[in-house]
Chain A
Amino acid sequence: MKFLFDSDTWQEIYGSIRKNKMRTGITIIGVLWGIFLLVVLLGATRGLENSFNKAFGSFATNSVFVWTQYTDTPFKGFQKGRRFNLNTKDVRVLKSEYANEIKVLAPRNQTRNLIVKDFKSGTFRVSGDYSFLDQIQKKKLIYGRFLNSRDISLIAKVTVISEDMYKQLFDKGVNPIGQYIKINSINFKVIGVYEPSPRINIDGDTAYIPFSTFKKVYNTANKISWMMITANKGVDIEQMEKDILLTLKNLHKVHPEDERAFGSVNLSKEIGKFLGFLTGMQFLTWFVGIATLIAGVFAIGNILLITVKERTKEIGIRRAIGATPKKIRQQIILESVFLTTVAGMMGIIFGAAVLMLIDYQWGRGVDAVLVNPTVNIPIILAAFTTLVVLGTLIGLIPAHMATVVKPIEALREE
């Protein structure tokens, strides 16, 4: 190891690199490109993952949505094609039968209606909801508050509107809290304004009013449009979805095999698909990155081999004046390791710089595509170590070539 700290060793390497500036440069770019790609791709994938997590952060991902359609199988005297509705009894039954599985069950009623504020108006979705909707779909409020249980029990005529609705219905700079807007010609007091989640946005621009108020205003009686169910931790959500649908089919006299009567979306399944895609991306990243790295390392091996061939005579001279094969080998391997190390470090630095640029350009704000694109330091260290090890191994080939030739043959070379 002593030779590593010998200034002469480095002088020899400097001499040999200086002699082949162009080729050394191109070789370094080969490896640099490899690790650069690895860093940037890993960072970008991570950024995508982060932005995905951020988007779902406001949404309980272990949720199932259920609604009714129309039957496709005749059952118990009913013809096929029957339309029916979910109702409050269903909610009660489900809540008691699945008490252990269900964390939150939010029945919802929705319709579209004209909303008027003085001389401004627009048609928006109106949704009758319970206060615990907030637990499934976190609302980011910019003014006021969300519905609470008191609003529900008092059948209060209050509403929470979206930022866009606020902008459309109110003059700029007006505080909307406490103002009245007309929904279905009835005055509702605005108690909150929310900012819609940038990506997972099921409701769009919706005026949220208490479930109980909706029932009165639109005369829905026991009917509900659809329900959102969130499972407790550790519950097999797919099984729960199947069980709930079966229970509902039983309650509504629907054939158990009927595929069309109920519509449902399992959010975790949809997310699972996307996570699978992310895993695929990660695999591809590693594959491309490592393949490029290996190509780069081979380029270094190749260049050293050419250098060794070109320097056959010089190596012959060195051996004639007393260089042992070990010395020659050390020299060439060290050259290889040095080149890969320098290239690797430069690649990491450039990669990090590009990630910073990506973060600056696309990583800011609520609708960021790549949030916090970073690479783990242990991963980088591992990649770097691999690179140096590969550099050493690949350096062995030209080093061997340099010493396998007899010195006399090396000297004869012109």
Chain B
Amino acid sequence: MIRIEKLHKSYPIGKDSLHVLKGIDLHIKEGEFVSIMGSSGSGKSTLLNIVGLLDTHDQGAYYLNGQLIQGLNEKKAAILRNKFLGFVFQSFNLISYKTALENVALPLYYKGMNRKERLIIALDYLDKVGIKDWANHLPNELSGGQKQRVAIARALVTNPKVVLADEPTGALDSTTTDSVMDLLKDINNEGMTVFVITHEEEVANQTKRIVRLKDGVIISDEPTIASKNL
């Protein structure tokens, strides 16, 4: 599903450049539940952004669903994101003046689906994440956990190949963290590839594979105890 070979990325800082990713090799198969761990500055967010086509890499190769990602223009990237990827962010990133239902339906709007159809599908997904009753609430009327559920529903609504979650529990307390992680596990159990970035061991341990990054290189890549128990 995701294949990365000798990936390099550096950011210019003034006259110098900061080498963030120094040759990453990573292969994530369909249906995997992977977490990337690392302290801040380890390059984990950069990696996710490149995987999520929000940023471009300098060197190396990146295959998404078997397709080589190279020299994409914004239009193609947008279409690919819409088709293959679902995003969940730490700060939810819901649009404040749209209801939960409208937020979830938005990716379908960009897909070109008509309103009636996409509201039905969106409601379906809200039901799936268990907050159908809050469908017509604005984001500021929802709790953090509920917001993240809306965000997850939004990520899932286009039926993507991969769900990318950037610190999905970073803004949540431990109880809601667990419920959000349970939701992600359920999604994964249904066959969805889930790719999580976190710096919390507890969160990472609930996934099936942990990739540890340090200073732009992978220092370990192993299955978790949770996956062995299965």
Q: Which residues of A contact B (CB under 8 A)?
A: 7-8, 15, 18-19, 313-314, 316-327, 403, 406-408, 411
Contacts of B54 in A (CB 8 A): 320, 406-408, 411
A313 CA to B95 CA, complexed, in Å: 9
Which one of B75, B81, B97, B109 contacts A320 once the chains associate, using CB atoms below 8 Å? B81
User: Of A18, A313, A323, A408, which contacts B110 at CB under 8 A?
Assistant: A323
What would 16 more interface pairs be, CB under 8 Å, given A317-B94, A321-B107, A321-B154? A18-B97, A313-B93, A316-B93, A318-B106, A320-B81, A320-B87, A320-B93, A321-B82, A321-B110, A322-B110, A322-B158, A324-B74, A324-B78, A325-B74, A325-B78, A408-B49
Question: Does B52 make an interface contact (CB < 8 A)?
Answer: yes
Distance (whole angstroms) from the CB of A315 to the closest CB of chain B: 10
* CB <8 Å contact, B97 and A321: no
- CB contacts under 8 Å to A, within B34-89, are 49, 52, 54-55, 74-75, 78-79, 81-83, 87, 89
Chain B neighbourhood of A8, CB < 8 A:
109, 115
Residue B98 at the chain A interface, CB threshold 8 Å: yes
User: What distance in Å separates the Cβ of A249 from its nearest Cβ neighbour in chain B?
Assistant: 86
11 contacts between A and B (CB under 8 A): A7-B115, A15-B97, A318-B110, A321-B107, A324-B78, A324-B110, A325-B74, A325-B75, A325-B78, A406-B54, A408-B54
Inter-chain CA distance A69–B83, complex, in Å, is 97
Chain A CB within 8 A of B111 CB: yes
Chain A: minimal CB distance from B103 (Å) = 9
Q: In the bound complex, do residue A322 and residue B107 qualify as a contact, i.e. CB atoms below 8 Å apart?
A: yes
Chain B residues, CB < 8 A from A320: 52, 54, 81, 87, 93
Contact digits for B188-219, partner A, Cβ 8 Å, 1 yes 0 no: 00000000000000000000000000000000
Q: Which residue of B lies closest to A408 (CB)?
A: B54
- B residues 94-122 touching A (CB-CB < 8 Å): 94-95, 97-98, 106-107, 109-111, 115
- Given A8-B115, A411-B89, verify A322-B78 contact (CB < 8 Å): yes
Q: Which of B74, B81, B97, B154 gathers most chain A CB within 10 Å?
A: B74
Closest A residue to B164 by CB, please name it: A320
Residue among A18, A324, A406 making CB contact with B79, cutoff 8 Å: A324
Chain B residues, Cβ within 8 Å of A403: 74
B residues in contact with A411, CB < 8 Å? 54, 89, 93
Give chain A residues whose Cβ lies under 8 Å from the Cβ of B106: 318, 321
- A38 smallest CB distance to B (angstroms): 35
Interchain CA distance A91-B31 in the complex, whole Å: 114
B95 touching A326, Cβ below 8 Å: no
Closest Cβ–Cβ distance, residue B225 to chain A (whole Å): 33
CB of A409, distance to nearest CB on chain B (Å): 9
Task: Given A320-B81, A322-B107, check contact A408 B98 (CB 8 Å).
Answer: no
Give CA–CA (A259, B100) in the complex, Å. Answer: 92
- The A interface is mostly helix, strand or loop, or mixed, namely helix
CA distance in complex: A258, B83 (Å): 96
**Chain B, 136-157, CB within 8 A of any chain A CB:** 154
Question: Known contacts A317-B93, A411-B54; is A322 also within 8 Å of B81 by CB?
Answer: yes
- The interface residues of chain A lying within 8 Å CB-to-CB of B98 are 15
> Whole-angstrom distance from the CB of B170 to the nearest CB of chain A?
14
Least CB distance from B147 to A in Å reads 13
> What is the chain A residue whose CB lies nearest that of B87?
A320
Selected contact of B95 from candidates A314, A324, A408, CB within 8 Å = A314
Shortest distance from the beta carbon of B166 to any chain A beta carbon, whole Å: 9
Flag if B75 contacts A321 (CB, 8 Å): no
Q: How far is the CA of A221 from the CA of B32 in the complex (A)?
A: 126
Q: Please give, as numbers and ranges, the residues of chain A lying within 8 Å of B107 by CB-CB distance.
A: 321-322
| Distance A408 CA – B109 CA, assembled complex (angstroms) | 21
Name which of B75, B87, B110 has the most chain A CB atoms within 10 A of its CB: B110
CA distance A19 to B49 in the complex (A): 30
Q: How far is the CB of A15 from chain B (nearest CB, A)?
A: 5
Given contacts A313-B93, A408-B54, contact A322 B111 (CB under 8 A): yes
Bound complex: CA A7 to CA B154 (Å)? 21
**Minimum CB–CB distance for B172 against chain A, Å:** 18
Listed from nearest, the 9 A-B pairs whose CB atoms lie closest are A322-B82, A408-B54, A322-B110, A324-B78, A321-B107, A408-B55, A317-B93, A325-B74, A324-B75
Given contacts A318-B106, A321-B154, A403-B74, A19 and B79 within 8 Å (CB-CB):
no
* Docked CA distance A312–B158 (Å): 23
List B contacts of A327 (CB < 8 A): 110
Closest to A403 in B: B74
Which residue of A is nearest B86, CB measured?
A321
Give the residues in chain B near A326, CB-CB below 8 Å: 75
Chain B residues, CB < 8 A from A322? 78-79, 81-83, 107, 110-111, 158
Complex alpha-carbon distance, A323 and B79, angstroms: 8
Residues in B with CB closer than 8 Å to A324 are: 74-75, 78-79, 110
Please give the distance in Å from A407's CB to the nearest CB on chain B: 5
CA distance A320 to B166 in the complex (A): 13
Min CB distance B178 to A, Å, is 26
Name the B residues within 8 Å of A18 (CB-CB).
Answer: 97
Of B87, B97, B154, the residue contacting A19 (CB under 8 A) is B97
The residue in chain A whose Cβ has the minimal distance to the Cβ of B93 is A317
What residue of chain B has the Cβ atom nearest to residue A320's Cβ?
Answer: B87
Smallest CB-CB separation from A311: which chain B residue?
B95
Q: How far is the CB of A82 from chain B (nearest CB, A)?
A: 93
